[in-house]
Structure 1
């Protein structure tokens, strides 16, 4: 066979596979329904108490906001809280609502309501959905998360209750305002919000018709209590100074990409799957007795090797199902190296220290700190009692599946905060529990985005949003066979687009046209099958159901 014809042959073969396994590809755009007009005024009459089971709700304000230069529709800006302290905001379109509700999650330790942009669900009308978000039941206190120190109710709201009670409250308020409940409800978020998405599918399977869980912090206890502190301690010298400094990261990253770029068969300046990369940082070690920005000292080489390997206990057992992936090095800046915005700490140090001091252990029991953390099996298990309340690790999503729910998981391969391998591990276990990959892909699919950092950004591809595909899947049965990721140049123009196919399929250049255009890539199986299940000390946590709020 002509070598240049091979990609076309693979494309035809894989298309047949896609039709057999994933279903015939259908355009992702889902048309909205007719506009639903409000039946209540946006104002004082909406400011009331709703006695909902387990979610007593108070609307404290409702004000009209005019359309903003056609970029946002006119809407009713609703604020309130669910007892005791789950503060929320809803934005209810006045003239463009077509029946969909989209709820966003909250990142990090939350404690605030993020800005709520109206999403694009593929319709002709702008802002045709109602949207909502919550602060997860507490107010952020800056660099110290002391809100959790002695307040179990606030912890529980953050761990699992807040996203659920907001869904209950929002649907009731939408019904009051429009005279009808939402036709479809969706949840879309990333990071801690991705954890909330998985948690909702596991514990509250009837809250949402479709869920997007991006870069989910699903193993929250081990991630916050072990992995983050380990990152910080691994890169900190005895005098408190960082070992690998930010100025060394560009040279390390450049060497990694140079070594592994062609592993996928295409020289395009990016690593598509870091699991195929074989790179030892000794390749960029400085000459003996020197220390320059373009190379690593022997001590820095040792730290880089450790970061690529991940945390283990003294007996060699993995303490977390992840590590820093090859290609993630630019993202270490501020995550593993110090950040001025966090008082000179790295994000990993700040996250780990606050979790160990205020969140990670039962109230009234001895806590820990970044300085006191020990990476042992005993300390890992000591974190479990409280950690399971916030973990979203259960593999039992049967009720969500039977209710017709659809789940999209996604993760950036170059994520420095939440290792992408942990999400791949979870999906592998989920598939094994639910009848294999083919059966699982009928209702849950994973998309792994090359070069993307944490929830966005990255050195080639930086934007990824599968909401339109989720809506089409739920409302038209059009299971997503690809989602387009894009990267942008300094002026904001799209510099590269690539299709991301359902895992484990990968994008392969078809041999024609620009390598920066998504249309010139086809889905193919990975070059070599890989076992995505990771053996680690917390594997049993997948069998522990989390608590469910009333």
Structure 2
């Protein structure tokens, strides 16, 4: 990827405003903007790149449709292309809808007057089946050299199928092509198609291409780095479902069964979670040297739910019945086979208890009358995706946690798992990877990510060599993706990735923030590249990031997890 790396300069506001007005009214580039040569000239001097064709002409009955249908490996059809007027917070853009054959649907937003040559593709969540909403990244500090926001073109895809719910595989899971689209093809072909559309519209392809995804989107990001290392210059992979075949069929099934009573109802009820969480904090909050309502690394937490078992004949919200103690003990333990061997490299971590009933969704338990998603997800996966097409599925109720059943899951991991630790082609292409995960994630155990990252380090020459292109950030107290939690849960990763990719400014820390219901910031904390942790300096507010400094962890458990799938990460 030999590219001329030039700083991006802002045009004077008056010129941008005039261009925006003209383009909003017409969908066309003004004056001298109608040639590819002019677009290239603007690209060279850092000015916004304007369209060279009308937005509407991108549609199937427009002048460029035949070109897009011939895109190599990604035959593309545009079903609609319309101009969306600017608002106070969103630039005017050409809104494109289309698909890559056979049925990988996508949406693309192309700024009319603010595009600086960046492309950002958004990942999906769950088992996809819908197109995620995309938003232009908020502009950082105006003094920052690399402005962002309307200078991005945006895209997202449904991964090639539609589903009645985010965790449903019924109706598409038994179609091999749709499995391949979901597993790895859809994100790739949409990146190819989107770049072809941008070349038609602006007269030039994007200068830099980025991917941002969490959960299944995180898996997609890793899959791109592993299978298609030149699709994106920078990738954000959050809470990646990289172990997908074993996540849904072993871990999710394990927690669903662990908390299911003989009547099918949750044993550990939602009203008990606050008391359980308080007991965990009382036991472990100070392990990191600071009482602050969050656990920096739950692997160091030694907590037994039996310590808060109710007295005989008592059932209060601040204690657990004997059956609830047993359920909680199973949740805090990884799934194991008949020989005690781990079937998955993770568990429900101490400190995550509140989110067992959501946010982001009621996963393990829920208030009365509210369904839980772990049983639904595991049952759908085992019935429709876990085994090769044509092989009967297994209902969750009949699934057994055995080494033989684990072996039955292996064929499909070639399509869906993203566990290859050899990222040398991505590194050699100049790619940059930001991984992140919350230590209080309920849906996807965080130790799977630390285990994968250690495998990458082992394959890529060690921690120092890996840090040159890939960094992991572990957020204390964060639930799934940005689903809240006792720790700060919001951070600006996109601009960190832009700075690293375009200016070589590797992220040294992420300032995470937490806000109240009114949007007021209540806590900021630095998060450093793993395994470095934030250590309180001893003075000042513990809610102010300025009062923390980087430090090695006082105790660091071994990141290598010995589980039945060890060989998949070699």
TM-score normalized with structure 2 length: 0.87
Query: Any gaps of 5 or more consecutive residues in structure 1?
Result: 1-28, 544-550
Question: RMSD of aligned C-alpha atoms?
Answer: 1.6
Residue equivalent to 1:37: 50
Q: Quick one: distance in 2 between partners of 1:149 and 1:178?
A: 38
Residue equivalent to 1:245: 269
Residue equivalent to 2:98: 80
1:38-81 Cα offsets, whole Å, 9 max, x none, are 1111113443241122211001110000011x210000000000
Matched, 1:187 2:206: no
Which segments of structure 1 move beyond 2 Å, counting only runs of 4 or more?
Answer: 29-34, 44-47, 120-126, 141-145, 147-150
Residue equivalent to 1:427: 453
Q: Quick one: distance in 2 between partners of 1:367 and 1:339?
A: 30
Q: Quick one: distance in 1 between partners of 2:453 and 2:173?
A: 33
Contact 1:121–1:471 (Cα < 8 Å) also in 2: no
Residue equivalent to 1:100: 118
Q: Quick one: distance in 1 between partners of 2:90 and 2:393?
A: 46
Residue equivalent to 2:313: 289
Give 2:500's match in structure 1, choosing from 454, 464, 473: 473
Q: Secondary structure at the match of 1:103?
A: strand
Contact 1:339–1:347 (Cα < 8 Å) also in 2: no
**Deviates further, 426-435 or 149-158:** 149-158
How do 1:444-483 and structure 2 match up within 5 A?
Answer: 444-456=470-482, 457-483=484-510
Contact 1:501–1:507 (Cα < 8 Å) also in 2: yes
Residue equivalent to 2:234: 210
Deviation of residue 124 (structure 1)?
A: 4.3
Deviation of residue 415 (structure 1)?
A: 0.2
Q: Secondary structure at the match of 2:237?
A: strand
The higher relative CO (CA closer than 8 Å, separation ≥ 6) is in 1
Q: 1:362 to 1:524 in 2, by over 3 A?
A: same
Q: Quick one: distance in 1 between partners of 2:242 and 2:56?
A: 39
Deviation of residue 144 (structure 1)?
A: 4.6
Matched, 1:364 2:390: yes
**Deviates further, 513-522 or 30-39:** 30-39
Deviation of residue 188 (structure 1)?
A: 0.6
Contact 1:40–1:46 (Cα < 8 Å) also in 2: no
Residue equivalent to 1:160: 184
Q: Quick one: distance in 1 between partners of 2:103 and 2:419?
A: 26
Q: Quick one: distance in 1 between partners of 2:419 and 2:364?
A: 25
Contact 1:188–1:212 (Cα < 8 Å) also in 2: yes
Q: Quick one: distance in 1 between partners of 2:137 and 2:370?
A: 35
Residue equivalent to 1:487: 514
Q: Quick one: distance in 1 between partners of 2:293 and 2:412?
A: 43
Q: Quick one: distance in 2 between partners of 1:164 and 1:198?
A: 12
TM-score normalized with structure 1 length: 0.91
Residue equivalent to 1:172: 196
Q: Quick one: distance in 2 between partners of 1:344 and 1:66?
A: 40
Q: Secondary structure at the match of 1:238?
A: coil
Contact 1:30–1:121 (Cα < 8 Å) also in 2: no
Contact 1:138–1:147 (Cα < 8 Å) also in 2: no
Q: Quick one: distance in 1 between partners of 2:252 and 2:107?
A: 31
Q: Quick one: distance in 1 between partners of 2:254 and 2:370?
A: 17
Deviation of residue 463 (structure 1)?
A: 1.5
Q: 1:339 to 1:291 in 2, by over 3 A?
A: closer
Contact 2:222–2:242 (Cα < 8 Å) also in 1: yes
Tell me the number of residue pairs that the alignment of Structure 1 and Structure 2 aligns.
512
Residue equivalent to 1:412: 438
Contact 2:439–2:479 (Cα < 8 Å) also in 1: yes
Give 1:128's match in structure 2, choosing from 148, 151, 172: 151
Deviation of residue 147 (structure 1)?
A: 2.5
1:463-486 Cα offsets, whole Å, 9 max, x none, are 134111111001011111001111
